[in-house]
Every structure is written in C-alpha cells, then in structure tokens.
C-alpha cells in the first residue's frame, strides 16, 4: 500500500515547494502533483513536510562515571521520533585494548531489536594501540565510517597526540572521518584539582574549571594535526566563539575541517549551572555551557556554514545519578537530555525568530548530517530516498515538560517553555512511528544502517 | 502536452536520484517514477538531468570603450542555451545622471523579443546622485533587486566611496543586494600612466598595471564599508587568493559578504596575455587573468563555500574590436566570450577531475545563483519549479572551437580543447531551446524575469 | 663655560644610571662621575635627567577652516619647553599647485627667529602633480625627509590614491618617509552630509560621522599601498584599536609600517564631545576622540612596540574660533592644545601608574622620534648628543590649568587635573630655556634642524 | 688602576657615539671625552666598543642521551669570551623529583671556579610535582628568576600541560619568567616510530620527523596557556616562520609573549642534515634546522622586534658522541657548538649585509637579553654598568675553523667560512679575558650572577 502525503510544503535543503510526496513501501517514489493515485492519503495541508532529522551525536545506554545514561535504544528513539528525528548515529565506545570488534558487538547487541528509528554507530577509540589501529578497517567494513577520539578526560577516555595522529592517518587511508572532542584534558585536570583543593565543589565549578581557552586550544591543535595528516576532521560539540574561530581559521586556509554545535550551546548558558540547590548539576556537560555572549556567534557560524550541523549530544542522567557529584562537581555524570527537543527548538528560535530559513534548518539537522556521515538514502525528500519524513505542523503548540517528554529522565531542561509548532507525524522508512502524541511502532522497527565512506565533495 | 524526461540522474544541489521528471507546460510537476503517464517522453538514460544553469554576470549589447560587446540578446542567449544556461542576469548600465529609469528602458528595449532564454537585469549605478538614489526603489518595483557599482574605471564608471555608501544604505533599506567591482581605480590609473609613459603598450601590461594588491585592497574596502552599512554585499569576479581572502576574513567575522569567480580565472592565466602577435588582447579583462598559482585557492574557496558562484562575465569582442588597443593596451575593450563554455568546462575540470561533486557544480552555477538573486522558480528541479532543464550527456564529446561556438566572436579562447561531456538538450520553461546541435526557438521565447528581494537566510 | 648636571638618574631608552652629565657648549661631552671638573653645577639629586622630548606632530601658525591655529612658533615652543619638549617637527603645508618650495619658504619665514627650541618640518603634499613630485628631492636637500598626505578632507587636503602612490614611490626613491592621515574622506563626507541634513549639528556628531571603521579602512589601505610600493609608511594619530590592528597586521607580515598615537587618545574620550553648552567643541579633532574602551589597547600597542611614538598633534584654537562651528559641527576648527602636556601626563599615567618604564617613556617621546625622523644628534643623553636635556622632578607637583599653561589658548583640556611630577629645568643645546616656571630664552634661540634620510634599521 | 678605552665608536642599543669609556675596577664610570685622565689606555680607534654579548641559552657539562655536552664551564666560557660573550645563562636541569635544590647545587658545583665570564642559571623543571612547585621560590631567592619546561622529549624531559600550567602560575606569582621548548613531543614520537619502522635511520630523518607544524602547534599552545595564566612566557629557539607567527599573533593581541631564535636557524638549513657520510649528524638539534625559506622571515621578525633575542643553544658533541646515533637518528645527541660564533656571524650577515644596524645587533645579543633575564648591571655601556666590554675590530678578519675555535669540539660547523671583523679584546668586569687571540684569565674569574625578577616594562 502506498502513502500519499498531500498538500504540504516540502522543504529540502535547497528549495521548498508545495507538492505531494508519494511513498511506496519504505521509499519515496515521487514528489509532485499526484491526483489520481491509489494511496493512503495523509493530509499535510498547512504543514511542512521535512526529511526526518538525523542526530549524529547521541549516547544511549552509555556507561559513564560508574552509571549509565538513562535512555536506552527503546526509550531514546521513541523520544527521537517524537521530536522529528528518524535516524541517530550513536557512539560505540572502545572498552578494551587491542581492538574494536568486541566493543562494537556489545553496542550492536544493546541496540538490536530495541530501536524505533534507524541507527548507526561511530566508534570511539580510547586506546589507539597497534592492534586497534589495525582493526579500524574491519569497522569500515561494517559501515562504521567515522571514528572519535577524546582530547579530554585523561586516564579515562583521552588519547595522547601520537594516538590521535595514528587514528587520523589510518582513518584518512580508509576514507573515514575522524571526530574529536576538543578540550585540553591535562590542563583541565590541573584546574579541577585546584578548585577541589580550594573547597570549590558546586556544579558551577564544572564550568569554571573547563574554560573556553582549553576548548579553543584543543580545537586549534586538533585541526592543525589533522591538516598535517591530510585528514578530514569533525569537531564535535563546539560550544563557544573561541573554538569556532579555530575551525573558521583552518577552513579559511582551505582545510577539510568541520564542526557541529548542540542545541544546549544555543539555548542555555553558564548561568544554568548556578541554579539553586543542586539543580545546576542537571546542566553539567562537557564542554560546559558558556557565557550567553557566545550564542550570536554560534548562530552566525551556522548561517555562514562555518559550522555545518546542530546535534544534541543527548546523554541523559536522572537527578539521582547527578547526585553522585554532590560535594564534588567532578563526579557529576556529564550530559543533558535533548534528543526530543532539537527540531522544535530550532524551528521556534531559528525559523520563527528569523535567523534561519526552513531550508537551512533542514540542512543542519538532516541533509548535512547525512552527507557528512555517509547516510546515502537519507537527508532529503525525493525519489529514491528512504521515506523518513516529518509532517511538521507550525500550529501544533508544544510545551516542554517532564509530562510531555518521552525521554527517560525525571526533569526537563526546558520545563514550561513553549513553542508554536512541532512534529505531528513522523515516518521511518514509510512506517508511522509518531502520530500526534502516540508511538505506533514496536521496538526493533529501527534498523542498523551501514554508512558510506567520507567524501568531502558531498559537503 | 506534458513531457516526461525519463531515466536520467536528476541532480539537485543537495541530492541526486535516478528519477523521471514530469513537465506540464512551463513547469515541473513531479519528480519520481511515472510509469503510465501520458506525456511526450524524452529519454535521458545515461544522462544527468540538471536544473538549467543561470549566468548572473553577462554583458550583452554593452557599450564599452567606443564599441559594443559583440553578442546581442539573440546570439548571446543562443550560445547560453547551447552551453546549458537557461537564464541570465545581465547588467543594465546607468547612462545618464539623475535617475535609472531611462537606462533600464534602453536595456529592456534591446532585450525584448530577442532572447531565447529568460533574463533579468542588475542595474549598474555610475552616478549615485540624490535623484538616482531615490530612483532605486522604482527599480526594485520592476524586479531589479540588485545594484552594481564599480570601484574601478575612474571618470567612466567608478563611484567614489561616498556614493558607494549611499548605494549600500539604500539597497539595504530596499532589501536589495549591492554588487561591487573591486579594483582601486585611481591607483591603477597611476600604474597605467607610468607604464604607457615608459612605452609599455602590449596587452601583458594590462595585467601588470592591475596587480592583485589593487583588487585585494578594494575588496577589503568594499566588504568593510558594507559591514559598516549593515548591508549585504556581493563581490563580482574574484580573480585571486588575495581578494578571496578579504571575503573570507569578513565572513569569518560574521559578515553577509558573498562572492563569485568566473571560469576564466579558473582556467586561464596571465600567461595568456603574453601570447604572440596581438593574440594576448583576446584575454584582456578586468580584473586581469592572474598567476596560475591562484587557481587551487579559488577551487578551495568554491569547495568550502567561501565563494558561492561561478559565472562568466561574458563580454565578447572580435579581434577587430580588440585592435582598438594596438599600441595602447588601455584601449583594448575588456572582456572575454565565455557564456557557452561554463557548464562543460566545470563538469570536465570540476566533476570529472574529482574537485567538485555534480551537486556542487549545480549549486554554484544554478541553485546558489537563483537564491542569491531572487529567482524564485529557478535553480532546482522539483515540483513547482520552472522547467528550465538540461539533459547533460557525459558521453557527448565536445571540442571547443569557433566552429562549434554560437557566440558572435571570430575566435574561441579554448579553441581545440576537448571535454568528455556536454548538454544534449536544453529546455526553457518546458520548451526545447537546444537539441543536440540545433537551436529550436525563435528570438523572444526568453522572457524578462522579475526577481524577489534579497534574503540572506536563503544562502 | 661647561655645565655639570649632577647626581640625577640619567634615563635613556635602554638603561638608567645615577650619573653626572657634562655639557660643553651645545653638546654633551660625557656621562659618568665627574668629581673635580670645572663647570657650572646643576644639582639634579632626586630628579630624572631625560633627553629632551621631541614632538613630531605639531601645527603652529597653521591655516585651517578660515582661521589660524592659535600658537605661533614663539608661544608654541615656550609651552613645549615648559613641558619638557626640546624639539618639534612641524607640518609645512603645500599651498599651491606645481611645487613645494614656496610653501616651505612661507613656513620657514614664520618660524625663523621665533622659536625657543629647535624645529624641523615635514612637508604635507596636497596636490601631487608632476611638478610637485619632481620638487620632492629639493625638500630632501633641505633636510625635509618626510612627506605627509591626507586620505581625509576631500576638496581641501585629500589626495586620491594615485597621488598617494606617486608620493610613496618618490619618497621611497629619495629614502624619505611617507606619513599619512588615515580616514576615508569621501565616506565621511557622506556621513557628515546625512547628519547635517538630519539636523544633527552638535559637536558630538563630529565623532559620530567619523567612525572607527573609516579610520581602520583608510589605515588598511594606506599600509597595503605602501607595501605594494615597497615604501616605509608612518600612520599619524592612530586613535583606536581597529586602526592599530591594521598596522599590527602589516607588521606581522614584515612590513615597514609604523605609527603613533597622541596623548588625547590615551587620556580623553568621545564623552568629552558631549560636554554641555558648546564645550564639546574644544575636543574636536580628527580622527575624533574614541570610546574609552580603546585606551587599554593603545597602551598595549605602545608597550609591545606596535606603535612607536606618542605625539600631541598640537593644533590649538580658542573658544571664539571653535564657535565658527556653532550650528554646524563640520565648521569647528579641528585641533587640541596639548604641546605642553605630553611628558607630565605620560609620566603620571605611564610611569607612576606602572604601565611603562621611565625608559619606555623616553623612547616613545624622544629616542624613537629622533630615529624615525632622522634627528641624528637628538633622542639620547650621551657624548656627542645635543645637550637637549630635561631635569624632571618627580616631586614637582603640577596642576594643569589655563593659569599654568603657556599655550596661547583660553582654556585647558585638563583644567584642574594634577600630576605628581613635572620638568624643573629644560635645556636646549646647552642653554636653559625653562627654569622652574620661567622662560629664559629669547625667540630665535631655536634653530632649524636638517634631518637625515630614513633608515628602517634604526628602528 | 683605571682603564680608558679610547677613541672607539661606543654602540649601545639606542645610540652610537665616538667616545672614550672610563673603567674603574669592575665598573664603567664614564663615557665621553676624558683627556687628562690617569688611566691605562686601550686604543680603540677604528673599532666598535660594544657591551659584552650575553648568551641566555647554553648547555655546558650537560648530560644528554647517555653522554655529556663536550664543553665544560672552563672551555665553554673561554670560547664565549673569544666570541665577545661576557655572560651566559646556562640551564640547570632538575634531576630528581621532589625539588630543585640538589640539582641547582650540582650545577653550581660544576661551574664554580671554572668559568672565565660571569654566569647565571635558568632552572629547567622536568617534574612539576607539588614539592617542586613549592621549591621554586627558593630558586628565586638564589637569583634564579627563570624556569624552563619542555613540551618535547616525552618520558625524558617533557611535562604535561597540567604541569606546564602549574609552573606558569607559580612563576607568575614569583615574578619569574617561564621559558618553554615548543615541540609536540607525543606527535613527534609517533613520527619517529614510523620512520624507524620504515628503516629511515639517517640524520635527515631527525628533521623530517620533527616538522614545522609540530613546533608551531606547541608554540601556539604554549602562548595560549600562558595567556590564560596571565603569565609572561619566553619561547626558546624559534626555528621557523610558522612558530614565529604564533608569537606574533599572541603579541598582536597584547600578550606578554617573547621569543628568541638561534644563529643556526639564521645561517644553516635542513640541507646540512643531508651531508654525506654521517656528517649530517653534526647538525642535529631540536627543533631541527629548517628549509632556508624561513630565514628571511626570521630576519624580519628580528627587525620588527617580534623576536627579541638571538642566542646559540650551544650544546656541543664530538663526532664520536654523535655516532651514538649511527643507524638510529633518534639516538644522536642533540646540539651544535656555536657559543663562539654568534657575534661575528651576526655582524657579518646582519650589520655588513645591511639587515640590522650595529645598535640592533647589540640589542638582540646583549641589551634585550639583560632586560629579559634581569641582569641589571649588564647589557649597555654607561656609568654604573659592569665593565663587560668588547672591542670589536671590523677589520680583524676571522676564518672559522677547528683551528681557531676554542670550543672543545673536533669539527666546526662553519669551517672555512670567513668574516671581515671579530672581537679584538673582551673585558669581563674590567679584566681583559680575551686579547687578540689569547685567553688572559684563569678559570674562576667568572662569577655567579644573581638575577632580578622579571619586569615586562623593561622590554
């Protein structure tokens, strides 16, 4: 049975048009006027019909600081679909020296049969020994075409610059993309020690001990070493002007350097960490939330394509988990719950506020993500594309709240904030996952997606 | 009667797909699989189906240095169509103080009933007196939403910085885009005088007296004054790294500064001006052709969207006209014939050479041009778009030559060069203009296009 | 009869020492311990013994806007000596097309027999026609080794960029230094017109119509064209960070670009132009006084030698003269009275405030000035130098006031401000000019100084 | 008995004069004309009389890679004096965790009674544990007011960024200067491993595995972290434009960042490492010698004060020692013998070649060194200064050679090269050390110099 999404405004990255979208099975087969077609009709009059958003930065069922992020692949992807996200690329994390295979299997196992939307994996390398480097090609064979390293979190996740360089070189040879968390781990460790020794234990000190300089320094180092290796590089979660400027500088010199920011850096600020009680702990993530003066620069960077993507870095922890850091901010699990909120927030504050066109919002949440990470059948609405589609109703008012959130967290960082529009319907490969308040799929609808190798010419 | 372009690879700026394109009258009504549709079928198997290219920088029937550019709106648009260009935005030139209306009418009169593809106009302001500034709004009313000024050619076309600023401010208020030719006219005049006084009269001295510094200086000045005025600005024909760097620097700081290069700066160099006899005169344009070392940087700038467009600055003169500058390079009419060559050259040296994707070539020759200059129904293939379509056959070998050129010039700057692919069919609003070697339309098929106001969010 | 300045701290640009200074006639013949020497002893115990300050930017008896600057070479140099300045380089101004000679003679005539300290001239070129360019060598023959042009004041003083380039090239060939007033004259004229048309006539609009951008743009243009010409360039009266940054950028790339600021940009701000009544007019100069946020950057630039000199741009007008601009700020004569105030103000706010060492104050007011402008026997205290010496008493309290000013102006811009130290004694070529409140010389003591050609290696 | 150096041209950093220099005991007591003075006369007619050069970067009796640098404090300072250097600041190296005292004593012991010219020490911190940080104040008490860290040589000398930051903060509080060797140790280790694994064992691979990027990256990081700490920083041995540019960028933003280059980076290049046989090993130092295209930029940086000092990094090894690295370039002891060569080479290629004035050569080899490192009585010739004086004869031809070298090395890197002038006489605190080919002092004449704390205003 075919579906016809009728009468909406189809918004792709580079054009908009009033048109019908014809879906046959899992695939879009036509965009245009289809008057006498035999198909189940979905009326999209007055709505925007968007390619499903793709979130390339999520951490579901992720071990961190002695606990686990609170969303698994079931709850996390329900929330994703409710927010208009039809594909995620999650991070598998190397847990053992000497290779990557077993870690991938662990993550694959957790996701299998659980997800409501499609998913892929990046592989985060935490120990770039020779065997691990050698194992990178087998990851690419599995469709894992991006690798991440951390320049932060010494003794836990951080790699030294020799390891980073080894990853860059091998990824380059495999036509894979290297992603990098840019904060100077050692310098931050020094500042954290000083703060704790001085009795500065509250959540705000998480931000004060991870200053912008340390992100900017590591970003500059990361793009420079990538340039040396002749490898493309993607800087994750750029939080501030100083860091963005390093990417801009590299690109001005012709480098294949790319970056994303996340919604929390556009909509939250360091002031959130000063909230009374221990509420500030909810806003602890790394890099930390910054002075709000950075936000206009991040919008500019998105407008001018200095940054290409907005993701969420979704990594939720409940209040109880956050309380692991009571009396020692350095023990607060890092992460915010945001997977459901990206598209409504960007539409409200991007499109409605006049900062970005609907097309650009589609580009930074879907099209560019698909191109960057090799999701060949996703990121646009057109013949041949996966029927990952969102019917976004600009008049479907939404109030953010624990009550309306499908995320498995006992608070909401935007509690009580309201937006004018939100997704009414979300299709994943032709199947309705989210229908105006209800999840319609069973766990396991979402499938693993093999990703194509990196090609800078797509960007 | 509808047309169905069947089986080709439809290439838009942000995606490609194998699909049919259904055209009803002047408009695309669907892209997808259309199996039982009643329509004239155009077989595009093995071909790319592209949105028609748009050339935003042409000078047809243009008075310059006591003569006229050799192509009129008939011959020029025939050549355009043969090269896959289905729309041009030509420059009307203010000829009289005190207003713009009569100049527009003059240009409108020349174009009317002559063109084979659609056309619009920019208005070039050469005397920004108060009445002229006041008249700008009437241009916008006519769909002329971009204005050009020259910082070069003192006493002929050049405006002083007060005039430039007045144009920027008024254009900003009218939501129009200011375009600017960036060379320091006075400084160049000094260098030209010195050269002529020293008996340096050959064509090469055209280039030597217009050094990169003078373009870079004027570019820096232009984007800075635009930033001061809070006005968007488009730098035409960026020829070298030093000038591109000024745009990059402005954009790095968040400015709404844009730029194009032209094919001659990608494929020709200053060495062409040293050709024996007076052949170098054929390659005289301003800014002049540069050292070839600039070319990789221009490709980089296109790849990273530091420059958004490749146009032609088509302004052809025959050898006899060029000989006006025998014995005095400063009297050589400025301009090259290139309107027919853009798409085949960019496909060969961009796509086939691995520098750019087909999508990016579509973007820089069509989609971005349409967005930049407010051509709302052009620049992509999809429901609702004008059926301006090129069937580009990657196996249709083409040899550049006076013999194969439809341009009204008695030589060809790429004579004898060969490319693997070229346009087989060009449709303008649903009508076949170019069919594998033959022009099928009569003069007048092409119509004037009113353009929408500028919106930076489209870019 | 010899003089022995005994027991002070001799401060040169690169070292300080407690030592005696032995003067024989007009010249220093030794610095050290001179116990049994037969000489008139000047006790300098507890004082600093400084090389006389040199002011390279003064306008005495200068015609401007239909009036004359209020100090002539007698009154102006009295005030200079009282403030510790023992040499000035004033601006002669080309008054006629076709050459410079008559203008120099006019200025020479006004200065001759009038001055109390030595003086030289720069020649300001306002019309760089061929005869004028040819005449530059005769200026160098007279010891005029620096030429100034204005990129501001169209139709009055401004040269176009071709003229500027001609001056740069000729100066380079003559080993002379080109000085340049950097503001975009045309763009400012536009802003002035708009303001007046809008009824914005108060002094503050002088500043608002000459924004930092226009100085920065012209500075960038000036250093770039100088770089093109291979000529050294000196930017006068840098008022703001944006302009200083252009010099810094040029120097970072290896250019021979230099600059000064003036004391008013360190100690006054745009707020002074908002003073009630017409008092703001006293603070009208060009470039205008800026937002105080620029001041720390100017101090930084001085500390790091990005700027090499602090001068005064002394160009005094009485209230009555300022009132020429009542109802039209553009008619207010431009200039402040500052020639007497530089050294005490810099000592107080530079040395005493901990920003600069005594050595650096000597360097930026004397040593670097002498090197920049070819005053071979001035700028330091040592054997062979002119005995231009200041005994600066750090405990000689001074209150700025019309009552204590020797300048020929009926107000003082620092009225009532107090500093801890000031010059007790000023010697010019061995003769005491200023002795603790009294001028001891007759007009004519000061002599014309021929200056050596420019040599970048001195700097 | 007093000494009178008569009739030479006394060259200080900011002026030159023909004058006599009167020395009483260890101190200069006067500069000027001293006709009837009772003193031993040293005729300096036709010569330049310079303040003794100071070499702030030497490694005498230094353990490295299982061997010792070949010059001790006797031979090394003889050579220094012969080359016009009258003071060195050598590096003491922390040899044990938990403090600095014992290491200082070890170095003090080796130097005591051995040197012919005065000496001080920097303390190199290789393990910045808490006890070591605490011990820094005791070093300052001893007159050790500069500390060095290495960002290169992991597992041997390198500190991590947390340690570097701890040193910066403590040094800042003690008003001491932090010096830093900038190369990315980890990244280089990776490149070295790859090279050795590929059988690339020759000396040239020392250079190829330490590319400019790795120095530039570490330099950028070093100045940025120093800026964060609010601490002044001195980058040692800047070898290339890319690294210098990082310092320039920091200074352009107002940072207290300083740097030196060494003569080998001005006069040698990477090509020296390609010399046949194992001769290339003689030229192995870190950072390595670079492509000669860097040299003009280093000269520019010296001319414009972007770099403030030229030192030698003297660290000599004989051929036999260099052969420790036969078959494995990474085992070649790092260092060149240059302590004797600095002044003659800079005079020849700086002054005689027209690049620098005699004053600037004095500044970068003596005056600025004294100011940077708190040698209060050294760095100029004037009353009150130590009588560290060089009579430099511009006509005293010198041929570099093992035969004329006093350095304890069995080859000379400039063997056979000739310069027009050289030091004829070197005085250390009034005593002749070097007299036209002969060392006149006994070991122990040179004394330890306590240095004053750092003061940015001196620079």
pLDDT tens digits, C243-293:
999 999 999 999 999 999 999 999 999 999 999 999 999 999 999 999 999
pLDDT reported for residue A1: 77
Q: Do A187 and D224 touch (CB under 8 A)?
A: no
Neighboring chain B residues of A360 at a CB cutoff of 8 Å: 457
Taking Cα atoms as reference points, which of B429, B422, B437, B362 lies closest to residue B119?
B429
| Closest-CA distance of chain D to residue A166, Å | 8
Return the partners of chain D (3 or more C-beta pairs < 8 Å). A, C
Place of tokens 């006493």: B155
**Range 290-309 of D in CB contact (< 8 A) with C:** 297, 300, 303-306
**pLDDT, averaged across chain C:** 97
pLDDT reported for residue A65: 79
Neighboring chain B residues of C213 at a CB cutoff of 8 Å: 224-225, 227-228
User: Mean of the pLDDT values across residues C193-207?
Assistant: 98
pLDDT reported for residue D429: 98
Is B355 at the interface with chain A, CB within 8 A?
Answer: yes
pLDDT exceeds 90 at position A245 = yes
pLDDT reported for residue A459: 87
pLDDT reported for residue D161: 98
Chain A residue with CA closest to D219: the answer is A221
Eight-class DSSP state of A348? I
Q: Which residues contact D375 (CB under 8 A, 6 or more apart)?
A: D54, D87, D89, D120, D369, D449, D451, D452
How does DSSP assign A221-240, residue by residue?
Answer: HHHHHHHHHT--EEE----S
CA distance D253 to D241: 18
pLDDT reported for residue C66: 86
How many beta-carbon pairs below 8 A join chains A and B? 130
pTM of the model: 0.97
Partner residue opposite C380 with nearest CB, options D14, D34, D252:
D14
Digit-coded pLDDT (tens) for A377-415 = 999 999 999 999 999 999 999 999 999 999 999 999 999
The answer, yes or no, to whether B and D have at least 3 beta-carbon pairs within 8 Å is: no
pLDDT reported for residue C64: 85
3-class SS at A18? strand
Cα distances (Å, whole numbers) of residue C424 to B72, C51, C392, D175: 82, 14, 6, 35
In contact, A411 and A357? CB cutoff 8 Å = no
pLDDT exceeds 80 at position C1 = no
| Mutate: best of D5, D11, D14, D349, partner C, most C CBs <10 A | D14
CA distance B153 to A375: 51
Spatial strand order in the sheet of C53-58: C53-58, C85-93, C118-124, C146-150, C177-181, C233-235, C257-262, C309-311
Taking Cα atoms as reference points, which of C149, C368, C119 lies closest to residue C259?
C368
Digit-coded pLDDT (tens) for B38-50 = 999 999 999 999 9
Chain A residue with CA closest to D218: the answer is A221
Place of tokens 């467009």: B309
pLDDT reported for residue C35: 83
Q: Are strands A27-32 and B27-32 parallel, antiparallel or unpaired?
A: antiparallel
Chain B residue with CA closest to C193: the answer is B162
3-class SS at D88? strand
User: Mean of the pLDDT values across residues A89-106?
Assistant: 97
Digit-coded pLDDT (tens) for C359-407 = 999 999 999 999 999 999 999 999 999 999 999 999 999 999 999 999 9
pLDDT reported for residue B64: 85
What is this model's ipTM? 0.96
Q: Do D382 and C31 touch (CB under 8 A)?
A: yes
pLDDT exceeds 80 at position C415 = yes
pLDDT exceeds 80 at position B1 = no
| Closest-CA distance of chain A to residue D181, Å | 17
Domains of chain B by residue range: 2-50+378-397+419-439, 52-377
pLDDT reported for residue A64: 85
Going by pLDDT thresholds of 50, 70 and 90, the confidence category of residue B347 is: very high
How does DSSP assign D349-377, residue by residue?
Answer: IIIITTSS-HHHHHIIIIIHHHHHHT-TT
pLDDT reported for residue C280: 98
**Range 253-292 of D in CB contact (< 8 A) with C:** 254
Please state which CATH number belongs to domain D2-50+378-397+419-439.
2.30.40.10
- Tell me the mean pLDDT per 10 residues along chain D, length 459: 95 95 97 92 98 98 91 98 98 96 97 98 98 98 98 97 98 98 98 98 98 98 98 98 98 97 98 97 98 98 98 98 97 97 98 98 98 98 97 98 97 98 98 98 98 95
What CATH superfamily is the domain B52-377?
Metal-dependent hydrolases (3.20.20.140)
pLDDT exceeds 90 at position A66 = no
User: Mean of the pLDDT values across residues C313-328?
Assistant: 97
pLDDT exceeds 80 at position B278 = yes
| Mutate: best of B134, B149, B165, partner C, most C CBs <10 A | B165
Report which secondary-structure segment, H or E, holds C245.
helix C241-252
**Range 24-43 of B in CB contact (< 8 A) with A:** 28-34
pLDDT reported for residue A397: 98
Is B12 at the interface with chain A, CB within 8 A?
Answer: yes
Report which secondary-structure segment, H or E, holds B181.
strand B177-181
In contact, A221 and D215? CB cutoff 8 Å = no
Is B76 at the interface with chain C, CB within 8 A?
Answer: no
Digit-coded pLDDT (tens) for B305-316 = 999 999 999 999
Is the sign of the CA dihedral D295, D300, D302, D305 positive or negative?
A: negative
The answer, yes or no, to whether B and C have at least 3 beta-carbon pairs within 8 Å is: yes
pLDDT reported for residue D35: 82
Cα distances (Å, whole numbers) of residue B24 to A34, B29, B43: 13, 6, 17
Which of B333-337, C24-28, D60-64, D262-266 shows the lowest mean pLDDT across its residues? D60-64
Going by pLDDT thresholds of 50, 70 and 90, the confidence category of residue A164 is: very high
| Closest-CA distance of chain B to residue C326, Å | 25
Q: Do C161 and B190 touch (CB under 8 A)?
A: yes
CA distance C223 to B187: 14
Q: In DSSP terms, which residues pair with D161 in a beta bridge? A: none
The answer, yes or no, to whether D and A have at least 3 beta-carbon pairs within 8 Å is: yes
Percentage of chain C surpassing pLDDT 70?
A: 100
| Mutate: best of D6, D248, D304, partner C, most C CBs <10 A | D304
User: Mean of the pLDDT values across residues B73-101?
Assistant: 97
Neighboring chain B residues of A456 at a CB cutoff of 8 Å: 303
Q: Do A15 and B17 touch (CB under 8 A)?
A: no
pLDDT reported for residue D229: 98
């Amino acid at each position: 049975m075919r579906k016809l999404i009728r009468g909406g405004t189809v918004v792709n990255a580079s054009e908009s048009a009033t048109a019908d979208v014809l879906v046959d099975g899992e695939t879009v087969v036509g965009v245009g006027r289809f008057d006498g077609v035999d198909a189940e009709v979905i009326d999209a009059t007055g709505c925007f019909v968007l390619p499903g958003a793709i979130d390339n930065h999520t951490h579901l069922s992720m071990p961190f600081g002695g606990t686990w992020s609170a969303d698994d692949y079931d709850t996390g992807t329900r929330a994703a679909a409710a927010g208009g996200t039809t594909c995620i690329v999650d991070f598998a994390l190397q847990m053992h020296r000497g290779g990557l295979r077993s870690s991938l299997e662990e993550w694959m196992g957790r996701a299998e049969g659980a997800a409501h939307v499609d998913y892929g994996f990046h592989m985060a390398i935490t120990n770039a020994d020779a065997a691990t480097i050698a194992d990178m090609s087998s990851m690419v064979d599995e469709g894992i075409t991006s690798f991440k390293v951390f320049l932060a979190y010494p003794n836990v996740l951080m790699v030294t610059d020799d390891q980073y360089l080894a990853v860059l070189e091998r990824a380059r040879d495999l036509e894979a993309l290297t992603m990098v968390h840019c904060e100077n781990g050692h310098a931050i460790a020094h500042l954290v020690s000083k703060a704790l020794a001085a009795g500065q234990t509250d959540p705000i000190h998480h931000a004060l001990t991870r200053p912008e300089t340390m992100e900017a320094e590591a970003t500059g180092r990361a793009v420079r070493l990538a340039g040396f290796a002749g490898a493309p590089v993607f800087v994750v979660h750029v939080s501030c002007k100083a860091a963005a400027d390093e990417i801009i500088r590299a690109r001005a010199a012709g480098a294949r350097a790319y970056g994303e920011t996340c919604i929390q850096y556009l909509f939250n600020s360091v002031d959130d960490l000063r909230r009374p009680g221990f509420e500030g702990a909810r806003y602890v993530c790394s890099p930390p939330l910054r002075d709000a003066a950075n936000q206009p620069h991040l919008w500019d960077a998105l407008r001018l394509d200095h940054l290409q993507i907005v993701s969420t870095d979704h990594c939720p922890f409940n209040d109880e988990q956050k309380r692991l850091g009571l009396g020692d901010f350095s023990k607060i699990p890092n992460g915010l719950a945001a997977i459901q909120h990206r598209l409504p927030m960007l539409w409200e504050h991007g499109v409605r506020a006049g900062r970005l066109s609907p097309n650009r919002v589609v580009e930074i949440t879907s099209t560019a993500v698909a191109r960057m990470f090799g999701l060949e059948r996703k990121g646009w609405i057109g013949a041949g594309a996966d029927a990952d589609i969102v019917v976004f109703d600009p008049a479907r008012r939404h109030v953010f709240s624990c009550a309306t959130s499908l995320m498995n967290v006992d608070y909401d960082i935007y509690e009580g904030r309201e937006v004018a529009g939100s997704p009414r319907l979300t299709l994943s490969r032709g199947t309705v996952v989210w229908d105006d308040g209800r999840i319609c799929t069973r766990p396991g609808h979402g499938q693993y997606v093999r990703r194509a190798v990196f090609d800078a010419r797509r960007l």
